[in-house]
Amino acid sequence: MIFLSIEKDNKILHFLRSERFSNYFPFILVALASCMMLTNLGNHYLWQDEAQTALISKTILVHGIPLGTDGKNFFSQEFGAEYGNGYVYRWHTWLPFYIVAGFFWLFGESNFIARLPFAFMGIAIVVLQYYYGNFLWKNRRRAFLGAFLLLFTVPFLLLTRECRYYAPLILLTQASIFSYTLFVQNRRYASALFVVSSVLLFHVQYLYCAVVLMAAGIHLVVFHRDRFIKFSILCSVVVAINVPWIIWLSTIPYSSRYSNQFYTFSETILVAQKYARQFFHYVLGFSFTVFTFLVIYLYALKQKKIELPSGYRLQAYILIILFSVLLFIILIFTAPTQFFRYLGPIIPLACLLVVPLIVKSWNIHHFFGVISFLAFFIGKPLPSFFYELTHDYDGPIEGIVKYLNTHGNFTDTVAITYEDMPVKLYTGMRVVGGLTGEHLSQIKHAKWIIIRKHTIFEQEKVIRQYIRDSVDLSLYKAIVIDYPDIPFENREEPTEHLFKTASHQTNDERVHILQRL
């Protein structure tokens, strides 16, 4: 019996090590990614930015194009700067809105459906990561490792589980860079893939499309000048297709929140440091970087040589680094704030660069390889993320929406200092406040007033002051609901995301709603 058991175990190990088993890697990744992306996807209510995406997407079902108003409420977060003539929305390009609108039309409206297309894209990113890695190394196990590292990088999961443009931005950036890599290798259909992915990327976030074209152009001039004419034609096609949009988008005025954004040299250094800290903390990990590079450096000193990649593989690594550096530089001077989400497209590319470092550590000694692999996940709160997947979460918006829908009417007016978008989405009531730039006079007639505990923007202070000066609060009764009054329902930023419901001990920590008597 013992002999049969050992023989059976040997057959299992032999199968796991065989090339036949590696054929199942894409299916394994799809199964794992589906669990990570789809589990408990609709539990959290949409927060401010997500709700804005959903609200604008709903206008497409009525008007065919995204608008910044539904005729009852306005959906600006930049004091109206996002609107063109007829309230046509133009702050972001439109592809994500049409995607959400399509899913709403097919499956109806819910938290789960709003996020579902982006979660599907998250799964696609993981699979594409595998094929990109397999192209680089011609090794399925290394390709699987690169996709596995990405799949269990929590900041990546947070971004792709949002009803916002982050998932298509990451997917199409990855696809554009991969298709360019195929193009310089004369692969079939690479030119068409590059044009299609770049055009679609423009219609998700045009800045990143420009960075991809810049990085690819520099890379081509250095390594593949013989393909310069053909690549120039491809870029010209991408630009020509988007010329009408480029002209239209160039007329967008800056919001007053961003109009005075000019950094001094010292401020620029601080911005660069913040982005670098975010990258090394949430993507590479300080522990991984220090340990792995130290092991490889000491090994190189002992062997008195450094083995570097060569050929197309080296060129691919340089392309990834070039794109990342260009994006860093452009974000330093153009991004209104240093949100981690702007670095999202770098995450899968960085995971590709991590793989050869872990493999090198493994080849030096298996112990070093294991430690290097584990060090990569330090700072990426996987236990907390698994808790989120298996537990209910209660945020302030959930409490506000449930109370208003239970005790209010569709015709009521609500005044709120911030996170007005989800209240508009879930209640359909007239909502005044937030960053829409509307005149505040309607607050005088509001049946419901919600003054959030935390102040996020200066405009909230204006709303608070208006309520104090213009509204007789003696006509209202205070209602305290058992939901925590935290700054946001929940958001994607790693430093601000809550994996479980915030605890609250006193009334001051809970949501207050004022109801007109």
Question: Which residue, among 459, 417, 462, 452, has the nearest Cα to 257 in the 3D structure?
Answer: 459
Q: Is residue 80 part of a domain?
A: no
Question: Which residue, among 513, 515, 516, has the nearest Cα to 451 in the 3D structure?
Answer: 513
Structure confidence at residue 262 (pLDDT): 57
Distances (CA, A) of 104 to 59, 114, 135, 203, 204: 11, 7, 36, 20, 19
Q: Are 339 and 491 in contact (CB under 8 A)?
A: no
Q: Is residue 475 part of a domain?
A: yes
Question: Which residue, among 62, 56, 94, 60, has the nearest Cα to 75 in the 3D structure?
Answer: 56
Question: Which residue, among 442, 453, 409, 399, has the nearest Cα to 74 in the 3D structure?
Answer: 442
C-alpha 460/C-alpha 77 separation (Å) is 12
If asked whether residues 336 and 452 sit together in one domain, one would say: no
If asked whether residues 268 and 184 sit together in one domain, one would say: yes
If asked whether residues 381 and 402 sit together in one domain, one would say: no
pLDDT mean over 447-460: 90
pLDDT mean over 299-319: 78
Strand partners of residue 476: 516
pLDDT mean over 307-317: 80
If asked whether residues 266 and 186 sit together in one domain, one would say: yes
The boundaries of the domain holding residue 160 are 20-38+110-388
Mark which of 371, 388, 405 sits at the end of a domain: 388
Residues with Cβ within 8 Å of 432's Cβ and at least 6 positions away in sequence, in order, are 413, 414, 415, 416, 420, 438, 440, 442, 443, 446
CA angle, 441 then 444 then 447, to 5° = 130
Of how many residues is the chain composed? 517
Q: Is residue 123 part of a domain?
A: yes
Q: Is residue 89 part of a domain?
A: no
Half-sphere exposure of 475 (CA within 13 A, CB side): 12
C-alpha 348/C-alpha 160 separation (Å) is 12
Question: Which residue, among 340, 387, 336, has the nearest Cα to 159 in the 3D structure?
Answer: 340
**Across the chain, what does the average pLDDT equal?**
89
The total of other beta-carbon atoms located within 10 Å of residue 333's CB is 12
Describe the crossing of helices 346-364 and 286-303 by its angle, rounded to 10 degrees.
40
Rg (CA), the chain: 25
Total-model pTM: 0.92
H or E, element range at 313: helix 311-334
Residues with Cβ within 8 Å of 9's Cβ and at least 6 positions away in sequence, in order, are none
Structure confidence at residue 472 (pLDDT): 87
Q: Is residue 327 part of a domain?
A: yes
pLDDT mean over 368-379: 89
Q: Quick one: CA dihedral 269, 150, 217, 237, positive or negative? A: negative
Mark which of 388, 419, 452 sits at the end of a domain: 388
pLDDT mean over 27-56: 95
3-state SS, residue 9: helix
Q: Is residue 509 part of a domain?
A: yes
C-alpha 201/C-alpha 19 separation (Å) is 35
CA 236 to chain centroid: 29
C-alpha 148/C-alpha 133 separation (Å) is 11
Q: Is residue 499 part of a domain?
A: yes
Structure confidence at residue 352 (pLDDT): 94
Model confidence pLDDT, tens digit, residues 80-138: 888 888 899 988 899 999 999 999 999 999 999 999 999 999 999 999 999 999 999 99
Q: Are 115 and 42 in contact (CB under 8 A)?
A: yes
**Pairing between strand 430-433 and 413-416?**
parallel
Tokens at 201, concatenated:
């990327």
Count structural domains, the chain: 2
Sequence letter at residue 109:
E
If asked whether residues 341 and 412 sit together in one domain, one would say: no
Among 19-28, 32-41, 117-126, 338-347, the range scoring the smallest mean pLDDT is 19-28
Residues with Cβ within 8 Å of 57's Cβ and at least 6 positions away in sequence, in order, are 66, 96, 97, 98, 100, 101, 104
Among 68-77, 159-168, 255-264, 380-389, the range scoring the smallest mean pLDDT is 255-264
If asked whether residues 285 and 419 sit together in one domain, one would say: no
If asked whether residues 150 and 255 sit together in one domain, one would say: yes
Residues with Cβ within 8 Å of 323's Cβ and at least 6 positions away in sequence, in order, are 177, 211, 212, 215, 346, 349
Model confidence pLDDT, tens digit, residues 270-285: 888 888 888 888 888 8
Among 3-7, 92-96, 190-194, the range scoring the smallest mean pLDDT is 3-7
Dihedrals phi, psi of 416, to nearest 5 degrees: -145, 145
User: Is pLDDT above 50 for 259?
Assistant: no
- Where is pLDDT greater, at 2 or 150? 150
User: Is pLDDT above 70 for 199?
Assistant: yes
Question: Which residue, among 230, 220, 168, has the nearest Cα to 197 in the 3D structure?
Answer: 168
If asked whether residues 333 and 465 sit together in one domain, one would say: no
**Pairing between strand 510-516 and 413-416?**
unpaired
C-alpha 193/C-alpha 200 separation (Å) is 11
Q: Is 8 exposed, middle or buried (0-12, 13-18, 19+ CB in 10 A)?
A: exposed
Tokens at 6, concatenated:
């050992």
User: Is pLDDT above 70 for 177?
Assistant: yes
pLDDT mean over 399-427: 94
Q: What percent of the chain has pLDDT over 90?
A: 62
If asked whether residues 365 and 409 sit together in one domain, one would say: no
pLDDT mean over 414-421: 93
C-alpha 1/C-alpha 37 separation (Å) is 42
Q: Is residue 496 part of a domain?
A: yes
Residue with tokens 């800290």: 277
Mark which of 342, 364, 388 sits at the end of a domain: 388
Tokens at 453, concatenated:
């505990």
**Highest mean pLDDT out of 120-124, 375-379, 436-440, 513-517:** 120-124
User: Is pLDDT above 60 for 255?
Assistant: no
If asked whether residues 217 and 265 sit together in one domain, one would say: yes
If asked whether residues 509 and 375 sit together in one domain, one would say: no
If asked whether residues 266 and 411 sit together in one domain, one would say: no
